[in-house]
Amino acid sequence: MTENLTIIKNFVTDSFGIKIPDELLADLQRNVKFFCEEYNLDEDSFVYKIKNNSFSDEELTNFVNIITIGETHFFRDQKLFVELENKIIPDLLETKSSLHALSIGCSTGEEPYSLSILFDKISKGFLKRNLLIDSIDINKISLEKAKAGIYPEWSFRNTPKWVKDGYFNHINGSYYLNERIKESVNFSCFNLKEIDKNIISPTLYYDIIICRNIFIYFDKQTINNTLVYIYNHLNLGGIFITSPSESGYIDTSILKKYNPLNSSIFVKTNKEITSTHIKSEVVAKENRKALRSDSAIIIKKPSNSQHNTVTNTLSYDDILIKGKDKYTNHQIDEAFNLFLKCNELNPLEVKPYFYMGIIKQELGEFTEAKRFLQKALFLSPKEIGVLTVYHNLLVNLNDNEHLLISKRLNAISFEDKQNYKDDLFNLV
């Protein structure tokens, strides 16, 4: 790593709390180059601005917009919204006339708007029930898009049809959100790095807090400060929603699993909070046992010893089939662990990497999805299924590498495409 890149990496972490793992340094350098081209700078001039703290507010805002990726869609994670619709929100409405929610890392607004739409659907069976959602993100461009409430077709992938039909007007290829839903969500620009100094609101307490796929981007201290805020500003009996891969950070003496079968939803059971700490050291120790040396994905091994014994007696093909069955039945965590086991049995087989990439993409963990798909392509550079899925992911991320992948796809002959017999698409 060059001295300049080290300075830039530390600047990003110190200023915004965003951690840059070594495998993403090339992305960071590419983003810096893009920023420098926009402002007619070179890398040395950029580093000079860091050392002399001479960035303008506009420059800092634009740099943050470049290095933060906002990616989501309406009603992402169907299992979560089924739980919210069937149990969580109705139970809260039995005792409260109004609910207050917080969405941390709201990106372009699909997540908080999804919550508001679902609440509107459910609350029609109750009298005078209201929901107000505070939503924060550091990316001002994403926030402006969220406030506008205008979305392309891509924002509705895997979204129930009733959402578009009931809450959006389709005009000239874009979808305009119902004004009543827009008014229920308040968007603010906020740097989580400052959460211990510049509190979102010291007097507000929430019934639901959502913070999903956020911690993977931040350093330990920022995660800790964010969790302390969440613990202290969640009402007793309130619901905290994270992602399965980040649930290991949670202090279970404060938040208990809402449903033993769901690892991403927690309920606050402890009113008195005197001190807390994130359990990153424990998680890291567990992860080292479960990770291959070339992976940076957080994966816990199954705790059920009987399950492990059965799995160990199965062949690679048997475990692969079992993993696909689990995925088909929406048992995502179990499916991922089975594909991981396949990878351990045969690290040179393309399918486990492909399947794990698909799962990570579905969970919205796009950096991890990209790494898995890259490994699949390394093993099988002309695999049509992998190329296609990887190409679509890159387009989604506005990554110009998709142009290169598109050329590789176009270079495959029509006959080869017609004769393509692999079952990679069976999972998609």
Residue corresponding to tokens 């409405």: 93
From first to last of its 428 residues, the chain has per-residue pLDDT tens of: 688 888 988 888 888 777 777 767 777 888 888 788 878 889 899 999 989 888 887 788 778 767 765 567 899 888 889 999 999 999 998 888 889 999 998 989 999 999 999 999 998 766 567 899 999 998 888 899 999 999 988 788 778 899 999 999 999 889 999 999 999 999 999 888 888 776 666 667 899 999 987 887 777 888 888 998 999 899 999 999 998 778 888 888 889 999 887 778 999 987 655 555 555 333 333 332 332 223 222 223 333 444 444 455 688 888 988 988 888 777 888 889 999 998 888 888 888 989 898 888 878 788 888 888 888 887 777 777 788 888 778 877 777 777 777 777 777 655 454 444 344 444 43
Contact 364, 396 (CB under 8 A): no
Q: Rounded to the nearest 5 degrees, what angle is found at the Cα of 11, between the Cα atoms of 197 and 134?
A: 40
Instruction: Please tell me the predicted confidence (pLDDT) of residue 163.
Output: 94
Give the separation between CA 115 and CA 132, rounded to whole angstroms: 10
Instruction: Please tell me the predicted confidence (pLDDT) of residue 311.
Output: 53
Instruction: Please tell me the predicted confidence (pLDDT) of residue 321.
Output: 87
- H helices of 152-290, in order, are 161-167, 179-183, 220-233, 280-290
The amino acid at 109:
G
Give the separation between CA 258 and CA 90, rounded to whole angstroms: 14
Residue corresponding to tokens 């999805």: 369
Instruction: Please tell me the predicted confidence (pLDDT) of residue 412.
Output: 65
Give the separation between CA 206 and CA 98, rounded to whole angstroms: 11
Instruction: Please tell me the predicted confidence (pLDDT) of residue 192.
Output: 86
Give the separation between CA 200 and CA 220, rounded to whole angstroms: 19
Which H helix or E strand runs over 350? helix 350-362
Say what the pTM is. 0.58
Instruction: Please tell me the predicted confidence (pLDDT) of residue 272.
Output: 56
